[in-house]
Amino acid sequence: MKRISDKKWSYLANGIVAVLAGVLIAHFGNRCNRRAEPQTNGQETESHCQSAEGLMLPKPMKYAHNMRMEMEEDGLSVTIRNPWDTTRILHRYLLTTDSTLRRSDATVVRVPLRNAAVFTSVQCALMMELNCPDIIGGVCEIEYIHVPYVQKGVSEGRIIDLGNGMSPNVERMMDLQPDAILTTPFENSGGYGRLERIGIPIIECADYMESSPLARAEWVRFYGRLFGRAKEADSLFQAVETAYTTIRKRVAAETKKRPRLLVETPQGSHWYVPGGSSTMGRLYQDAGADYIFSSISGAGSTPLSIEQVLERGMDAQVWILKHHGPVDLRQLRKDYPALARINAPMYLCDTSTSLFYEETPYHPERLLQNLVNIFHPELAYPTDYLYFCPLE
């Protein structure tokens, strides 16, 4: 048998290594690749894989009351407390990179998500900020999502329109086969119907029921671990926390008088106002307002009669309201004549043109600046974010 020279052995060995490397790259690369990545702001979003280390919590949660995250051997354990009955658990999740793991005590979510059904505009906007919008595979109520990337994706067919958030199109959902469904839970909603039976993890985004702006914003750390953007999310929250705390301390130190604040307008026979322990209620107080309903407990909105509101609000010094579209003051006062007796200057946030719902949940410092400039113009915070503007 003819002996192969050392030089030929070297060539042969190098060839075998190259082939094996190609096979390994193809195998593991396919595990990390998502569907074709779209263009955002002229650049491709960065493809990402997440190791178990990417789930680690370098700092524990500081503000959020309704969520707890803890590392386990199998991954990141996430417990969401029922905000309407704090003695109960709303949902338990285990975020893991192990594709074979099964658990009976928690919903297993394999991360990072690569294809998600997203029911809320705020999560869509957050994915844009964390540079992973390609995860959005389907959305509900596209008419309320003011994110150009999502609007364009639906019009081009890259993102599936799943219909109404309260009763999404399950057939389209099954065609999409998302890794998870991100939706908003409501009190006494009766569950999610057919969605619960198709075997796709449902992520209950209950951050809106937190009791302070920073508590809600801190949920970005949870979403970052879902999306494979843990470091970016932690850095984002740290910057938000610093900015918000700085503004709040300055308001507390440099203001003496607090203008009495009235919020929102009647809806039919009721007037819905945020409770004093809600994110908005806390924001009003942190911005230096004497919020007239700060004594109402609860993290949600409370329906009051128009008479109850007017009893406290007739001497309001500032009146702010949110509305989807412009407000016709003449028609409003015609429908509710008693409102004409309120002499407070009005400020409107038109949610059809502003990015209030998309930006402020995870950037409360921006809204805080806007409100401080209304309540205490002497502090004169320079800001490019104007949500509430004078209503002429």
User: 80-97 pLDDT, tens per residue?
Assistant: 999 999 999 999 999 999
CATH number at residue 310: 3.40.50.1980
Q: Is residue 47 in some structural domain?
A: no
Per-residue pLDDT at 52: 59
Q: How many structural domains does the chain have?
A: 2
The alpha carbon torsion through 314, 317, 323, 325 (nearest 10 deg) reads 110
**Residues 286 and 382 occupy one common structural domain:** yes
**Residues 378 and 286 occupy one common structural domain:** yes
Total-model pTM: 0.84
**Residues 260 and 163 occupy one common structural domain:** no
Q: Is residue 21 in some structural domain?
A: no
Q: Is residue 32 in some structural domain?
A: no
Q: Is residue 17 in some structural domain?
A: no
Name the domain boundary from 238, 265, 300: 238
**Residues 143 and 284 occupy one common structural domain:** no
Domain containing 370: what range? 255-390
Q: Which residues contact 326 (CB under 8 A, 6 or more apart)?
A: 348, 350
Name the domain boundary from 238, 270, 302: 238
HEC readout, the chain? CCCCCHHHHHHHHHHHHHHHHHHHHHHHHHHHCCCCCCEECCEECCCCCCCHHHHCCCCCCCCCCCEEEEECCCCEEEEEECCCCCCCEEEEEEEECCCCCCCCCCEEEECCCCCEEECCHHHHHHHHHCCCHHHEEEECCHHHCCCHHHHHHHHHCCCEECECCCCECHHHHHHHCCCEEEECCCCCCCCCHHHHHCCCCEEECCHHHCCCHHHHHCCHHHHHHHHCCHHHHHHHHHHHHHHHHHHHHHHHHHCCCCCEEEECCCECCEEEEECCCCHHHHHHHHCCCEECCCCCCCCCEEEEEHHHHHHHHCCCCEEEEEECCCCCHHHHHHHCHHHHHCCCCEEEEECCCCCHHHHCCCCHHHHHHHHHHHHCHHHCCCCCCCCCEECC
**Residues 305 and 215 occupy one common structural domain:** no
Per-residue pLDDT at 383: 80
Q: Is residue 132 in some structural domain?
A: yes
Per-residue pLDDT at 51: 56
Name the domain boundary from 183, 209, 238: 238
**Residues 65 and 211 occupy one common structural domain:** yes
**Residues 174 and 305 occupy one common structural domain:** no
**Residues 80 and 181 occupy one common structural domain:** yes
Q: Is residue 206 in some structural domain?
A: yes
State which amino acid sits at residue 260. R
Listed as own residue / partner, the contacts of 76-84 with beta carbons closer than 8 Å and 24 or more positions apart are: 76/225, 77/106, 78/222, 80/204, 80/206, 83/206, 83/209, 83/210, 83/299, 84/187, 84/188, 84/209
Q: Is residue 245 in some structural domain?
A: no
**Residues 212 and 271 occupy one common structural domain:** no
Could you give the angle at which helices 230-254 and 364-375 cross, rounded to 10 degrees? Answer: 20
**Residues 223 and 260 occupy one common structural domain:** no
**Residues 287 and 352 occupy one common structural domain:** yes
Q: pLDDT per position in the chain (392 positions), as tens? A: 444 444 444 444 444 444 444 433 343 343 333 333 344 444 444 434 455 567 877 788 999 999 999 999 999 999 999 999 999 999 999 999 998 999 999 999 999 999 999 999 999 999 999 999 999 999 999 999 999 999 999 999 999 999 999 899 999 999 999 999 999 999 887 788 888 889 999 999 999 999 899 999 999 999 999 999 999 999 999 999 999 999 999 999 999 999 999 999 999 999 999 999 899 999 999 999 999 999 998 888 999 999 999 999 999 999 999 999 999 988 999 999 999 999 999 999 999 999 999 999 999 999 999 999 999 999 988 888 899 999 87
**Residues 222 and 147 occupy one common structural domain:** yes
* CA pair distance 392, 374, nearest whole angstrom: 15
Q: Is residue 164 in some structural domain?
A: yes
Per-residue pLDDT at 370: 96
Per-residue pLDDT at 291: 97
